Amino acid sequence: MKLHQLFSASVRDPKKLAAFRLLPIGRVIRYAFLFILIMTLISFTRFLIGDTDLFETSLEITEYGEAIGALIYPMAFIFQFIIATFYVFVRISIFATIGIWIGKLMRRRVEYRFIWRTTAIAITIPLLLTIFLDFFQVLETSGIILSSLIHIGYLIIALKYYPKAAR
C-alpha cells in the first residue's frame, strides 16, 4: 500500500485503520517519518524566515550564533528533526498504551505491537491539527488536548473493528 493510500484511508476509513495493524512495521515507521519530515520542514522554514523565536534571545546566544555563522542552519535542521522524531514516537507510544487500556475495557484482543501500528497511522489528523494550530497560533494551550482527544477518538473507532478477546 502506498503512502498516499495510507493517508486517505487513515482519514476516512476506520475499518482499514484497524486493518493497518497487520502492516509491516517498516511501512508504518516510514509513514510516521513522513510526518516528522513535514513537521521539521515547517519548523525549519519558520526558523529561516524568523517567524518565531525559538529561544529567548540573550546576548550570549546572539554572539554564539554570529560566531558559528552559517553553520547554525544545518545544526538547527538536525536538532529540529531529532526533536520532532522524539515528539512523534513518544506520542505514538503513549497513545498506544492508552489504546491497550481502552482495548481491554472494550474486551478486544489487543497486543502492543498491533495497537502501536494502528496508533501510528491514526496520528494523521491529530498531527495535522497540531501543525495547523501551531502555525496559526490558535488555541495554544488547549490545542494539544483537542488533538489528543481526536487521537483517542480515532483509536476507539478503530478498536471497534479489532477481534473480540477470547473468554
Whether 166 is in a domain gets the answer no
Tell me, what's the pLDDT at 39?
87
Distance CA 83, CA 85 (A): 5
Whether 138 is in a domain gets the answer yes
pLDDT above 80: residue 11: no
Task: Kindly give, in sequence order, each residue whose CB lies less than 8 Å from that of residue 102, ignoring residues fewer than 6 positions away.
Answer: 152, 155, 156, 159
| Angle separating helix axes 3-12 and 112-122, nearest 10 degrees | 90
Total structural domains within the chain: 1
Tell me, what's the pLDDT at 137?
72
Chain-centroid distance of CA 67 in Å reads 35
Whether 44 is in a domain gets the answer yes
pLDDT of 134-146, one tens digit each? 777 776 678 888 8
Whether 117 is in a domain gets the answer yes
pLDDT of 51-100, one tens digit each? 655 555 667 767 777 788 778 888 888 988 999 999 999 999 999 999 99
Whether 8 is in a domain gets the answer yes
**Domain of 15, in residue numbers:** 3-159
Whether 164 is in a domain gets the answer no
Whether 165 is in a domain gets the answer no
